[in-house]
Amino acid sequence: MTDREFPLQSRMMAGTVPECGRCRTLEPLGFDFTMAFQPIVDLASGAVWGWEALVRGRHGENAAHVLEQVNDANRYQFDQRCRTRAIELAHQLGLAERLSINFLPNAVYEPRACIRATIEAASRVGFPLERLQFEITEVEEVRNDGHLRRIVEEYRAIGFATAIDDFGAGFAGLNLLTHFKPDTLKLDMNLIRNIDQDDRRQLIVRHLVLLAAELPCTLIAEGVETLGEARCLAEMGISLQQGYLYARPGFESLPAPDPGVLASLLAGKLASQANPAI
Ligand SMILES: [Ca+2]
């Protein structure tokens, strides 16, 4: 590893990452899991912008099956292992774009100490930290806003990108934006579903595009399932999209976005550029 190749790693490993000891004293996790990867497509270029790592059972069981085995006793250990597993698999699969990892804010005690295992895993396999993004997953109400703010500020200081996941659903609402500045908002699939046929959803998302431009932060539409939704979102300026339309999550693999779908969307874009009246 050289400073030139991995500037963030070099800075972090230079003695600024403390250890709190929690991860050394915890019991074994008691269950095993692995990861699937789903591409985030950039319609501006037609290329893959990044990949979200999604937890799966060893035999392909869904995320809920794995998450129901997480409890207060193993939450910290699970969060740590999710990150290291995602990074190690990404490396094995030759992932060359961004890697977006979900994490549970309530599983982080001391942000700088809790990131240590992640940095060590990335350094071990040579994965640049600059390509990591953390999605704050609001599966439960964050118990302490100050705690979340400290995590995000610390991660930003380290140089990681942060995203609010499922924005517009449940607890991941506008109030989070009053507390901290994420790099990315991932629009929840309930805002996306049938948006091409729904004036109210279009109104909300159009204004979220304006909000994102002023904050500023990047928008990703998740849960895109139809060409109509994809075109409508692209016309509103959201070129980063993720969903079954492009590819289902690949179990321990990096599935390519559907080439027919990309061709159809990019052809439409080229046609409208050639003739803006279309
Ligand atoms: Ca997510």
| pLDDT higher than threshold 90 for residue 265 | yes
Domain definitions of the chain by residue range = 7-274
For ligand 1, the distance from its centroid to the CA atom of residue 278, given in whole angstroms, is: 35
| pLDDT higher than threshold 60 for residue 4 | no
pTM of the predicted structure, to 2 decimals: 0.87
Q: Which of 39-53, 57-71, 126-140, 232-246 has the lowest mean pLDDT?
A: 126-140
Q: Which of 68-72, 214-218, 248-252, 268-272 has the lowest mean pLDDT?
A: 268-272
Q: What share of the chain is helix, strand, coil (3-state, %, to 5)?
A: 45, 20, 40
Percentage with pLDDT > 90 across the chain: 53
Write down the CATH superfamily of domain 7-274. Answer: EAL domain (3.20.20.450)
Count of CB atoms situated within 10 Å of the CB of 17? 17
CA R_g for the chain? 19
In the prediction, which pLDDT does 75 show?
82
- The model's pLDDT over 116-127, given as tens digits with 9 standing for 90+, comes to 888 889 999 999
For ligand 1, the distance from its centroid to the CA atom of residue 52, given in whole angstroms, is: 7
For ligand 1, the distance from its centroid to the CA atom of residue 41, given in whole angstroms, is: 15
In sequence order, what are the residues at sequence separation of 6 or more whose Cβ sits closer than 8 angstroms to the Cβ of residue 10?
1, 2, 3
Percentage with pLDDT > 70 across the chain: 78
For ligand 1, the distance from its centroid to the CA atom of residue 274, given in whole angstroms, is: 36
For ligand 1, the distance from its centroid to the CA atom of residue 15, given in whole angstroms, is: 31
Mean pLDDT along residues 152-168: 85
For ligand 1, the distance from its centroid to the CA atom of residue 5, given in whole angstroms, is: 28
**Is 5 exposed, middle or buried, given 0-12, 13-18 or 19+ CB atoms closer than 10 A?**
exposed
In the prediction, which pLDDT does 2 show?
47
